[in-house]
A and B are shown apart, each in its own frame.
Chain A
Amino acid sequence: MSINQTIEVSELSKIYGKFKAVDHISFKIEGAGAIAYLGQNGAGKTTTFKMMTGLIKPSTGYVKIGGYDIIRDRKRILSGIGTLVETPEPYPSLTVRESIMLVGELKGMKKKDIEDHIENFGKKVNIPDPSMKVGTLSRGQRARIVFAAAFLNDPSIIFLDEPTNGMDPAERRIIRDIILEWKKDHMIMLSSHLLQEVTDTCENIIFINRGKLTVQDKTREIERKFNSRSVRVQYLDKVSLSNMNNANLTLVDKIEEESTNSFVLYFDGRLENKAAILSQCQKIGRVISYADYESSLEEAFVNLIKENQ
């Protein structure tokens, strides 16, 4: 069952007693690409994923995937999408092959197609020997089986909740490459605490904090927005920190020496001040580079949390 690449979340809430795990979240996303769903621990990411995949029912609101309601048409939706939510564990007594065959058969695939998937995709994600029992495998190996199972039946939308949990850097790189390849014509919704993983793979971000949607924007925009209050200036000739401090850079709040002849200048973010600071810097020495300070998404993430506290 093919599912259109649309996710519509409207006024979605999940309340446990007095605690609002998810608080009236609404968003709509369409088409192929990778979307990151970010937030601190306990922000409500996994709860939202659980509601989007029908594992739990919302207290209010609804989720529509491909135009179908996840509560009413759960089975129809799940046969056309791939899911990896929380830390799924295949049954320990089944073999790797049986674990993947089980999911493939439930999705209505032919045995030969499942075998092909194990052979091709399985090789790509380096799943363990298909005849091995799941119970004998490491956490990372089990995670790769679950990852392979999520991509069965060529799903049009794939939900990946912390997919690289328990994996080593080499395994993470494999997963990143697969996401990069598949996002070209699939919709991938990714939740990860590894922000580098998000920067590398996702062009859009939905940020939630304490159960509420805070920001939904392009990754670059978010990085730019939260990093534009600092610039990095680099000189051709030798310039010391004392040279910078003595230069009377009145519009600069703070100066950090990054390396020889390279400084990070913090200011109020106004563009005219950014231009004025450049003029002042040029008086100190020959500037070879003057650009927004490119820190990781992590900084934007931290800033967003601070901003919403």
Chain B
Amino acid sequence: MEAYGSKSSDYGYMNDLKSIYILMKYQIKFYLKTRRFIAMLIIVVLITALTVGIDLYEGVAKSTVGLSSSAEFISKGLSTTLVLSISVIAAFFGGDATSIETGTNSGYYIMTQPVRKISILIGRYLASVLLAFGLILIEYAGMVGLSQNFYGTVTSRILFSIVEALFLIGAFMALAFLFSSIFKNPLIGILFSVIVFVIVFSIIIGILEITNVEPWFVLTYGGQVVTEILSSTPIVHLSTISEPGLSVNIYQPYIWEGNVIMSGYLAISLVLSYIIFRFKEVRPQ
């Protein structure tokens, strides 16, 4: 009898941490070769190139807007695109995270291996968060370059912003994972995530502003702390715009408040995602 490989008994009982690491490693390899990663990369590079290009050409940041420091400049520069970029990237990386196992034949390949579903979920989650974080760092790199060019320095507060961005990626990704567990079809999971993150959240915030209610339960609201943390001036939690016959309250989350919102989304979504994934059988569409 010709034997291939090594005997099963040569190896110990794999621990879950190692399984998570293996799954994360191969998930990153998988994502790096997908069209969606290329598409996300192109979008992020384009956003960064446009921001950098326009700012360099116009010099708007310093001269016209009159931003006084590197921190204000980076905060303003990122505030228009960062949360949107994070939400779209999370939707594309996380929207099919578990449904690719329960809704396609790939589930029969991985779930018959010695690995727990929790390891699959965590390995995939870490891979998605890391890749999304890598993409977002491109936007930061653009702003760092501009800040250095205009101000000759880069605020050290950018590190806090990067940590908050990682936190926000984790929260959006967890929510996308939850949608991927709910929907059987991977495409529907991605589409639903994009719609909720980009359209539904904006509509909810818009409605709440008109009705003068703080949108404390909306993730994109809490995510504003990513750029707010750069600013050295105190946060104006509530400002009111009054027009004849109309008064609109504009809320800005406190840093602690944003962190609580993101933590809540991250923890609840990830736990629910796991519970649904754990009890779902592989049933390809």
Contacts and interface: CB of A to CB of B under 8 A. Distances in A.
A155 B4 CA distance: 10
A251 to B, nearest CB: 50
A90 B106 contact: yes
Given A1-B13, A88-B106, A106-B19, A94 B33 contact: yes
Contacts of A101: 26
A224 interface: no
B8 interface: yes
Interface residues of A, number: 56
A83 B14 contact: no
Interface stretch (B107-115, B170-178, B201-209, B267-275): B107-115
Contact of A116 (B5, B13, B111): B5
Contacts of A120: 2, 4
Contacts of B112: 53-55, 78, 83-85, 88
Interface string A77-108: 11110011111111101100011011111111
B11 A88 contact: no
Contacts of B281: 55-56
Contacts of B22: 102, 105-106
A2 B115 contact: no
A93 B33 contact: yes
B247 interface: no
A1 B85 CA distance: 45
Contacts of A153: 5-8, 11
B104 interface: yes
Contacts of A99: 109
Contacts of A184: 1
Given A76-B114, A79-B13, 17 more contacts: A1-B12, A1-B13, A2-B7, A55-B281, A78-B114, A79-B14, A88-B105, A89-B108, A93-B29, A93-B33, A94-B30, A103-B109, A107-B8, A120-B2, A146-B109, A151-B4, A156-B8
